[in-house]
Amino acid sequence: MTHHSIWSDLQGVAFRQDYLDVNGIRTRFLQAGDPSAPALVFLHGTGGHAEAYSRNLAAHAEHFNTFAIDMLGHGYTDKPDYDYAIPRYVEHVTGFLDAAGIERASLSGESLGGWVASHVAVHHPDRVHKLVLNTAGGDQINMDALARLREMTMLAVTDPTWERLKARLEWLMYDPTLVHDDIVASRRRIYEADGMPAAIAHVLSMHTPEARKQYALSHEEWASISAPTLVLWTTHDPTAGVEVGERLASWIPGARLVVMQNCGHWPQFEDAETFNRVHLEFLLSPELP
């Protein structure tokens, strides 16, 4: 049997964990790579944290100044007492770029992170070099899956037993055996923290049909995205089928679509080797004139 852990993914990697003040919000991040290299920022999904990208930092740090952040209200980033609507996430991401001294970065967002990254690309096109939408959230999500996500997340944070947290993480995977003890323990430490149930309630304010409709991008907005875009989907995403990825790719001018096999909602973790190869091929490819 092969045993995995967050630390084994990062052994030998020159990385740091640190915090930045983003407009008064203490924001945690992991960083690896040459600070003078082009910037890449990974954005995790609902209830997640920077460790979602523990298997991707090493490969990307060879080419990019690579960040994985704890988004607003998530992980070890501050959790202010208001609902985390999409504009607040966008403000936080662009504020992080400002605080890090980054004028322009490639953004790679998974699930909620993809929803936020797409809004940054629409409303702040000058800040986005390339865009990756990895099983991206938004109004395209299956409503039954949305309800299940809300239920499992609230159960996990109000009663953070090992079994509930493991089940929540297994829901993300096509192969649930990939959920190792270390990632469960990492999330349990976060979910047991004071104030986390209130923060998750604020997070889940964006996970209602009404919020999905309110912050949906129009066809015209999708068509306005000027950053070269990769839409990365999977054959077993529990939130939306491949046809959703195909639809998004058809709406964004020049977007590429890649469908990863035998993965669920965390392809960057489930099949890091394929993800890293596909992701880097896109990010390193020359831009068309």
Q: What is the DSSP string of 33-66?
A: S-TTSPEEEEE--TT--GGGGTTTHHHHHTTSEE
State the pLDDT at residue 155. 92
pLDDT over threshold 90, residue 4: no
To which residue do tokens 């190792």 refer?
A: 180
Total residues belonging to the chain: 289
Q: Which pLDDT belongs to residue 104?
A: 98
**Which whole number is the average pLDDT over 201-230?**
94
Q: What is the pLDDT of residues 80-98, one digit of tens each?
A: 999 999 999 999 999 999 9
Q: Which of 6-15, 120-129, 133-142 has the lowest mean pLDDT?
A: 133-142
For residue 29, the model assigns a pLDDT of: 98
Model confidence at 52, pLDDT cuts 50, 70, 90, reads very high
Task: Work out the average pLDDT over 141-166.
Answer: 90
Report the run of H or E that residue 234 belongs to, with start and end: strand 229-234
Helix boundaries (H) for the chain:
6-10, 57-61, 86-99, 112-123, 143-158, 162-170, 181-191, 196-203, 209-214, 219-223, 242-251, 267-270, 272-284
Start-to-end CA span in the chain (Å): 49
The rounded distance, in Å, linking the Cα atoms of 240 and 175 is 17
Measured distance CA(20)–CA(199) in Å, rounded: 20
Average of pLDDT values for 4-9?
Answer: 91
Q: Give the mean pLDDT of 146-164.
A: 92
In sign, the C-alpha dihedral spanning 69, 71, 75, 78 is: positive
The structural domains of the chain, ordered by start, are: 7-284 (3.40.50.1820)
- Predicted confidence (pLDDT) per residue in 175-188, tens digit: 999 999 999 999 99
If one compares 278 and 288, the residue with the highest pLDDT of the two is 278
The model's pTM is 0.96
Rounded to a whole number of angstroms, the CA Rg of the chain reads: 17
Tell me: pLDDT of 230 over 50. Answer: yes
Phi/psi at 270 (5° precision)? -70, -40
Mean pLDDT for 14-24 is 97
Query: What's the one-letter identity of residue 247?
Result: R
- Amino acid letter at 100? A
On the 0-12 / 13-18 / 19+ scale of CB atoms within 10 A, 213 is exposed
CA distances from 286 to 106, 212, 280, 289 (A): 14, 34, 12, 9
Closest residue by Cα to residue 212 from 252, 242, 244: 244
- Does the pLDDT at position 148 exceed 90? no
pLDDT at 227: 97
- Average pLDDT of every residue of the chain: 95
The residue to which tokens 């990365």 are assigned: 232
Under the banding of pLDDT at 50, 70 and 90, the label for residue 1 is: very low
Supply the pLDDT for residue 287.
Answer: 75
pLDDT confidence of residue 3: 67
Q: Token pair for residue 192? A: 């047991």
pLDDT of residue 103: 98
Q: What mean pLDDT is predicted for residues 262-267?
A: 96
For residue 98, what pLDDT is reported?
98
